Homo-oligomer: A and B are copies of this chain.
Amino acid sequence: MAKAADVYFRVDPWKIMEEGFDPAYSRVSESVFSLANEALGVRGCFDEGGSVDSLRGAYVNGVYDMERLNRSYRGIITETHFMIPAADWLMTEITLDGEKLDLGKVQFRDFRREMDMRRGTLERGFVWQTASGKELRLSFLRFMDRVHRERAYQRVVMEPLNFSGAVEIAAGLSFDVVHEGYKKCFWQDVRAEGEGSRFALQGSTTLSGQEVFAGAVLNISGDIQIAEKTAALRAVLPLEQGKILTVDKRVVILFDGDTGESLWQKGQAALTACGQISLDEALTAQEEYWAAYWRTSDVEIEAAEGQEAAVAAEQQGIRFCSFQLAQIYNGGSTRHNIGAKGLTGEAYNGHAFWDTEACCLPFYLFTNPRAARDLLLYRYNTLPQAIERAKMLDCEGACYPLATLNGDEACSLWQHANLQLQPSTAVAYGVWHYAHVTGDRDFLYTYGAEMLLQIARFLASRVEKGGQTGKYGFFGVMGPDEFHMMVNNNAYTNYMGMRTLLCAVQTLDDMRRDEPDAWAALMEKTALKADEITLWREIAENMYLPKDETGLIEQHEGYFNLPHTDINAIPVSQFPLYEHWSYDRIYRSDMVKQPDVLMMLYLYNSSFTEEEKRVNYAFYEPRTIHESSLSPAIHSILAAESGKMEEATRFFGFATRLDLDNYNRNTREGLHVTSIALAWVNIVYGFAGLRSDGEGLRFAPRLPERWKKLSFSILYQGRVILIRMEKEATGFRLLRGEPLQVQVYGKPCTINSEEVMIPASDANVSA
């Protein structure tokens, strides 16, 4: 499956730059130029709107509305929820000589847009050439506050190049925003007030009953004009040739679960506080924030000779990935998770999937463990809904949703929502992986154990015994490979189920020993009976997990007898298959959408032999079409482990620039946020060979040919470890914390403040 890169943005180590404007590329650019501060997100759309093709979206994390669905069968959801666009705080109309600024219609030159990843800012500038012959240089700056997450800033700078006169500006806020898919505005009962240089709105959603406050304070005064769902400050401003005029808008978008007058009062107070800080002061704080971020989270790549251009693009790419991840989620909130598209578009409805635990968590575990913990607390907070969901499925315990914002299952495709058990096993894996890597027993016993217990209970109520084998297994499931629906004894599901049950048993055993009172309280809260634990152990010990003599694992019962599809014979024009093949046709061959057996070899890497990984990779990789953007990185990591560096590098190919180069042809819908998390994972697990699922940390650095150096640091149990890979050797150095013993190429190695160099030739010894 050939993927082609667009070449559109200028390569630069720290910036994403667009020079000149291609209207056909408008939505892709909007996605790439998305900014967010975890609470608020906005696509890189034009402040002034206009007729340019655009998905105008400003989003507030956690804000959604709902749709009631026709009840069909029991266990299929009867209402769904989806992220909706919230207050548009960039709305700016500029009129000169009666000509309204609209880049789809007016003349302009020197267009340039640039996102600075060291400052978290987006700037856009151009010279507007009016029909009346005037030239006005315009520049727009925006950013969102990283500390006061309800705050956002917009600056409009105007410089008349060849005239003096007057410009009319309307700087507004609007809840009159339309969800693109539903083609309707979900906001109603919008209250609006304002005076002088300040105004505010408050809107409520239609069915979810959420309310959002939006307020703005400007550095200019004017008429406050209030229309339906919209308020704006209108002013006519004098322009003097060669002089710069600056309009600063400081915005508060407050969403904290409160409503009515109480929210209005809090919003007004927050707006007053925001107005006491100048935009320049806020910008300085922003720069400091990002500088600190990059000090611990940067990945630096140096090119091998002759590879400078390609590697410069990768350097920019991996920073873009880290930047976007930190924008979307950086911890501090346990009310939100990470949407598949973050806050960068309405595709996937803003929903979080099991991508969070399977793909994003490692990035946070080793760069921001607090954020990893918060992500898991989100799952703890939504445990009650998972318990309800299990009941709907005639099961016990907790079944985590396939797709959700608020913890309720939001996926209306029963074949995914009812058959995929991996959200639940992924949460269990995340709890275990987090506790295993961080050693955070407090989290494990206060929150994790309860989740593990309820998930184990769910699995035990869902598992059944094969009529012929007499072994336990999960029947009627869809494994990670979404091209095989409703299969029996999916190896991944059975294996993850077995591990989850054992993990729950072990955790409860440990807890009973370490924290008997807390353990007793948990037993009482959950009414867990001793024979449940006995059953979990029995199920785990008698789980159907066959392998053939070579170690090859059948993806599910009957997989080997499926008709063979030569995936290389499928014309590229037929991708994505979901759009070009009859729905049922996709499900009846040995073609694999994304790693399934290989996914478990990745997650529980240390539990499988090298030979098993080699054999299964060799079998499944040629049958996999990677129709999920999560697929290539997992294959790259396993290829690197097998020493297939060329393949590993090929699969890594577009990881860092998936969206920057629009590889999947759908970046216009938003960024592949959970996929780009895997760019970091691909580098650290793939090329540095980090393994975190066994005893302690293990490394097996293998540098791609085109790189000369790779360096990054990780946080690990209070330490900062700097890893510097070069062709001949890899250095490990402790920047903070106590010395640590790890394994490198299978041999013990102590990391301390003096750099220790492990020669690359050691790789061959163990291989």
Contacts and interface: CB of A to CB of B under 8 A. Distances in A.
Interface in A362-393: 392-393
B560 A468 contact: yes
A563 B488 CA distance: 10
A50 interface: no
A468 B75 contact: no
Given A464-B563, A467-B560, A475-B588, A393 B76 contact: no
Interface stretch (A499-507, A520-528, A576-584, A644-652): A576-584
Interface string A596-636: 00000000000000000000000000000000000000000
B393 A584 contact: yes
B75 A394 contact: no
Most buried by B among A395, A464, A562, A581: A562
Nearest to A392: B582
Contacts of A395: 582
A415 B476 CA distance: 14
A585 interface: yes
Interface string A492-515: 000000000000000000000000
Nearest to A475: B588
Given A419-B584, A583-B418, A561 B75 contact: no
A589 interface: yes
B74 A563 contact: no
Nearest to A563: B464
A73 B587 CA distance: 13
A583 B76 contact: yes
A485 interface: yes
A415 B414 CA distance: 11
Interface residues of A, number: 43
A547 interface: no
A585 B399 CA distance: 14
A467 to B, nearest CB: 5
A513 to B, nearest CB: 36
Nearest to A390: B582
Nearest to A556: B558
Contact of A581 (B72, B74, B582, B588): B74
Given A418-B584, A486-B486, A562 B73 contact: no
Interface string A534-566: 000000000000000000000001101111100
Contacts of A466: 561-563
B582 A467 contact: no
A149 interface: no
B585 A468 contact: no
Interface string A411-441: 0001100110000000000000000000000
B488 A582 contact: no
Given A563-B475, A583-B73, A486 B485 contact: yes
Contacts of A583: 72-76, 414, 418
Contacts of A73: 578, 583
Contacts of A578: 73-74
B486 A587 contact: yes
Contacts of A75: 581-585
A469 interface: yes
A465 interface: yes
Interface string A150-178: 00000000000000000000000000000
A562 B488 contact: yes
Contacts of A38: none
A469 B582 contact: no
B475 A582 contact: no
A394 B585 contact: yes
Most buried by B among A476, A488, A561: A561
A579 B394 CA distance: 12
B488 A588 contact: yes
A464 B588 contact: yes
A135 interface: no
Contact of A488 (B415, B558, B581, B584): B558
A73 B605 CA distance: 36
A590 interface: yes
B585 A467 contact: no
Interface string A34-45: 000000000000
A573 to B, nearest CB: 14
Contacts of A392: 582
Contacts of A589: 464, 475
A437 to B, nearest CB: 34
A563 B415 CA distance: 20
Contact of A582 (B72, B393, B562, B588): B393
A579 B581 CA distance: 32
Given A419-B584, A469-B561, 17 more contacts: A74-B580, A74-B581, A75-B582, A75-B583, A76-B583, A394-B582, A415-B415, A418-B582, A464-B563, A464-B589, A466-B561, A467-B564, A475-B562, A475-B588, A476-B587, A486-B587, A488-B561
17 contacts: A74-B582, A75-B582, A75-B583, A76-B583, A394-B585, A414-B584, A415-B415, A419-B584, A464-B589, A466-B562, A467-B562, A468-B561, A475-B562, A485-B486, A486-B486, A557-B558, A557-B561
Smallest CB-CB A-B distances: 4 pairs: A75-B582, A476-B588, A464-B563, A73-B583
